[in-house]
Each structure stands twice: as C-alpha cells, then as structure tokens.
Amino acid sequence: MQSPRHLVSIDDLSLDEIRSLFEHADHFAADPRGFADTCRGMITASLFYEASTRTRLSFESAMLRLGGGILTAAEMRTSSASKGESLADTVRVVGGGYADAIVLRHSSEGAAQLASEFSPVPVINAGDGAHEHPTQTLCDLYNLHVERGHIDGLEVVLAGDLKYSRTVHSFAYALARFNANIICVPQPGFEMPKYVLQRLSDEFGVEPLRADVRKLGDLAGSSDAVYLTPQKPHQLSLFTDLSDWQVQSVDAVYMTRPQTERFGEGDLSDTQYMRLEKRSMDADSLRDAVVMHPLPRRDEIDSDIDNDPRSIYFKQAARGVPIRMALLATLLGKIQLAGKPPKVQRQVWPVVAGSNPCPNPSCISRTEPRHVTPKFTLRSRTPLVAHCAYCSRELVFRFVGCSTSKHYHAPDSRELQKVLPDHLVFLPDEGSAQALAYSKAHA
C-alpha cells in the first residue's frame, strides 16, 4: 500500500506544485458549486485541539463543496485526549477507518509531524503551536497571486507579533522561496525568532539588514525593522553594519494580532500594540499596498479602513475555500498537480541515549514524552549543530558522545565527523556523560 502524502510544512510542496494549486483554485473559485462529484463518498476529520473558526470552517466548506463528508471534533479537550490518549493513538484510530484525511490543529509544536508518522491517511497541518501553518500560507500566497499576478520580487511587510505567529513563520519561508522581499516590522519585544532567521539564512542565503522604514510612516513607529531578501547576496551583518536598507515602496502589509494565548512569562508589554489606521495608509510607500490579515483581528487594524479597496483581509479569508479545495482534492488523489514534489527530503535520526536535548517546552516531544521518541536533524558537523526534528529549535548541549565508543567530545571536535549520526548522544554537562559511563576523549 502506497504511503499517504501529508502537508506538515509548506516545504512539502514544490514551487511548481504550489503554482498548480493556484490554477486549480482559480477553477474552483470561478464555479464553487460545480465540483460536487470530485470527492463524493470521502470523509475528512477535523481534529482541533485549539480553537478555530476560519481554518476549520473553510476546510469543512471545501470538503462539502467537493461532495465529501466531514467529521468534526472541534474541542478535542473533551475527547479521549482528556483521558490521556496520545495523539499518535488518536490519528491511528481516526485514520484507520473513520476518515480519508485528517485536518489537525494542535497546541504543541511538531504535533503535525508526529501525526504524519502514525496516520494511515493524509495529515494536513492546520497549525501546530507557534511553529507552522502551511495552509494559511497557501491562502496568503494565493491572495498575492490573485491581487498581484506574481510573487517574485514583491516587497511584503510582516508587522506585529512575529515571535509567536506561526502564520508569519510559514509565510516568511514561502516568500523567501518565491524570491520575495520581507520587511519585518515587529511589535517591540516580539521580533522574528532566531531559529526562523537561522533557517532563512541556511536555506535561502538570507542575511538580515537593518531597515530604514521612515517612509512607512506611522506603521513603523519605533519598531526595530529588519529587511530580509533572498535575491541579493548581502555580506552585511545585522549587528555590525551601520547602513540601513531604504524601504521605498511596499506591495503588501501583513498585520498580525498579539498571540496572547502563547505568551510566556514576561511577554506582556507596556508598549501599546501597533495599529494600522487610516492615516497610516496615507504614506507614499503604502499607496499601492494591499492590507492582509490572517484574522481574527483585535485592535491592530482600525475598522475605518475596512472599506478601503486596498484592504483585502475578508477576501483573503474567503479565498481560503478554493485553495483548500485544491489541496484536499490533491491529497485525496482526485486531481494531479503539474510539477514534481520537492526532491530533497531531510534526514532525521532518533535521540538514542540521554535526556531530550530539545529546549522547547511546547514541543510535542516534551508535551507527550511517553509517546514520542525525540529526533533531530543536522545543520552542521563542525561545529556540530542540530535541530529538533519536530519543532525546529536548535538543540542545547555542551558535549556530544558516541554511543559505540562511549567517548564524548566538545561540539567543535573534528573527531565527531567520524561518528555516524545515529550514534550521536547529546550531553548537557559532564555529569550526564558520567551517568552514562562515557569518558572524555583525548585530544
């Protein structure tokens, strides 16, 4: 039996496949009631461990318009999860006969990746903690496609809570892949996380530059803005270069609300949250910019600009249905996309000994420790740098051991190049090395 195809990350789709999804979405949008036989007899299950309105309803609307059925578990806290059932067991049960695809939203980062490892049917990530939200990203990209006709080379402002917004993280990765330029205008204290910037640097050669955003007017305020572009090989460093990138004009402003449900201790800021008002849109640089928002909004966009033709956030939400119709029909095998899937599949290895080196308390490897084997990917061998295979955070350790030689080394030791990845052991200190009966390797 062929393994199902999942959508855990936006990286699970090639650029050609995304463009093909746009074409199918255009057809569905032109005649939303004309495809009621596409998925007749098929069922999707909505497993939502977190609250949702637009994402859940748009997926359910998409499946119904395709002629399929839906099973809704909109509040998983009242399900068997409240009795201690693991996510792995839940998806095995639901995918084992109840449904033909699973749409999953979960508060733990990496939950969708874990579900994909156990589910016999396609898993679609509808948001996992502060990690990723690939279908919202597809919707956002599709809106740029509709409004601008292209994505390559666009100047897109990401504003607000860039620290906890999974929508922003997925969108930034996708924009970089499409060679768009990103102007980060964060709420003070809620800048783009280092692990997101690191991935943008590793995979797309993006070097952050301080941005001169005076032409954005009130929108930028006192924000410490950063310019990210995959198109120009900057040698400048965010922290060492004194020159600023001059932001002249913008194609889209993507506002985000404060993700208060993910705030940690000390995250509440005394600074008033940024707000996009009618006067903000008078800035010359925003004259042709469309205003986007993943919704729901609070006070970060004034209702006075709802009728501004540049404000497309309600259209943006509506267009989530045809793009999700295209995605569901693809993963259920009812339509074929032009283009081939991504060639490069990341290599993943299990943590074979010692404690879990992932520092993220919201990672699924920590929230369900009895059911999840921690896994990692390697970014560098010298020095050795590894990331959690579930939540993408960089692992924390002082030493690295070898499970066969029982020796441990400093991360920058060249001897580690000789150790196979599945023999690596991450050690937080010498005490944990001694507890495993490892001895220090001689220089």
Nearest to 121 by CA among 3, 239, 33: 3
Contacts (Cβ under 8 Å, ≥6 apart) of 111? 49, 87, 104, 128, 129, 364
Whether 105 is a known active-site residue: answer yes
Catalytic residue (one of 83, 340, 343, 442):
83
Q: Are 351 and 331 in contact (CB under 8 A)?
A: no
Catalytic residue (one of 6, 24, 38, 55):
55
Catalytic residue (one of 19, 27, 54, 297):
54
Whether 72 is a known active-site residue: answer no
Q: Are 409 and 399 in contact (CB under 8 A)?
A: yes
**Cβ neighbour number for residue 120 with a 10 Å cutoff:** 15
Q: Are 177 and 54 in contact (CB under 8 A)?
A: no
Catalytic residue (one of 24, 65, 133, 387):
133
Q: Are 224 and 162 in contact (CB under 8 A)?
A: no
Catalytic residue (one of 65, 105, 257, 375):
105
Can you state the angle between helices 320-331 and 54-65, rounded to 10 degrees? 60
Count of positions (residues) in the chain: 443
Whether 398 is a known active-site residue: answer no
Alpha-carbon distance 2 to 88, whole Å?
20
Output the six-digit token pair for 124. 């679609």
Cis peptide before 357 (omega within 30 of 0): no
Whether 55 is a known active-site residue: answer yes
Amino acid at 380: S
Whether 442 is a known active-site residue: answer no
Catalytic residues: 54-55, 83, 105, 133
